[in-house]
Amino acid sequence: MTVDVTKGGAVGGAAARGIVNELASVAAFARLAPDLLSSLAAACHIQDLGAGDLAVRQGTRLTDIHILLSGAVMLVAGNAEVGQRRGPETTFLLPEALTGAAAPVTLRAVDGVRLLVLPLAALRARLGEGADLALSLMAGQAAREQVLVETVAALQDLSLPQRLAAHLLKEHNDRRAGGRLDLDMGALAAALAATPEDVAWTFTDLRRHGVALEGTTAVLKDFDALRALATPGPLRRRQAEEWPVAMWDVDAPIS
């Protein structure tokens, strides 16, 4: 179901104000002037999906930018479920939509889902009206990159279990691994600047954080515990103040 907020009336006005607030929570638009934010929000609509409903099909050209307000969507590559995203989020569900590229995965609702939908054509039209929107988008991206810089710097002070947890989460995200990672232990040890023996002992320590090692395959069972281990306290506080964009901020696979 789609909620049209472009029509007049009290309900439409309340819905429109809600969309303005939702859009303002997105990092890319957080620094927009109120008039620009309202103009962009007027082009948006809310889409409600039920369990099993299709949001985006893999391979189709993206014409809308989606932001997940609530609920969970599963990510499907080919015929394999590779993960899920759970709202509320403050970033784009598929960043490829900014260029109108093909969807890299299928998105399907796991439960009741609410999406904020911004047509790409509307964003492009408003970008053509002046530099303010473009500069705001750049400012939002710069702020996100600053958090990433702080995250990378903090990695240098992590213990080996923390570095291993961060590495596993990042690799899982990069590979869309579905909870299982096939590992080259020699390459893993080199990446962590550790010996293979130390890495093997560290996997034993990670059992209590939801990691099981089956031969050379790491099975990730508790993503929240791994994130908590991998993220130092100062970064957790910064992310709570800003938005979670740590390099190991990944999505748990469908159970």
What are the tens digits of pLDDT across the range 74-128?
A: 889 888 887 888 877 777 888 888 888 999 999 999 989 999 999 999 888 887 7
Q: Is 40's pLDDT higher than 70?
A: yes
What are the tens digits of pLDDT across the range 203-254?
A: 999 999 999 999 989 999 888 888 888 876 554 444 444 433 343 344 444 4
Domains of the chain: 2-129 (2.60.120.10), 149-241 (1.10.10.10)
Q: How large is the average pLDDT for residues 184-206?
A: 89
- More confident site: 105 or 154: 105
Q: Is 147's pLDDT higher than 70?
A: no
Q: Is 255's pLDDT higher than 70?
A: no
Contact 212, 239 (CB under 8 A): no
> Residue 110 and residue 122: Cα distance in Å, rounded?
29
> Residue 83 and residue 173: Cα distance in Å, rounded?
9
Please give the share of the chain, as a percent, with pLDDT higher than 90. Answer: 25
**What is the SS3 string spanning the chain?**
CEECCCCCCHHHHHHHHHHHHHHHCCHHHCCCCHHHHHHHHHCCEEEEECCCCEEECCCCECCEEEEEEECEEEEEECCEEEEEEECCCCCCCCHHHHHCCECCCEEEECCCEEEEEEEHHHHHHHHCCCHHHHHHHHHHHHHHHHHHHHHHHHHCCCCHHHHHHHHHHHHHHHHCCCCEEECCHHHHHHHCCCCHHHHHHHHHHHHHHCEEEECCEEEECCHHHHHHHHCCHHHHHHHHHCCCCCCCCCCCCCC
Residue-level pLDDT at 4: 40
Q: Is 155's pLDDT higher than 90?
A: no
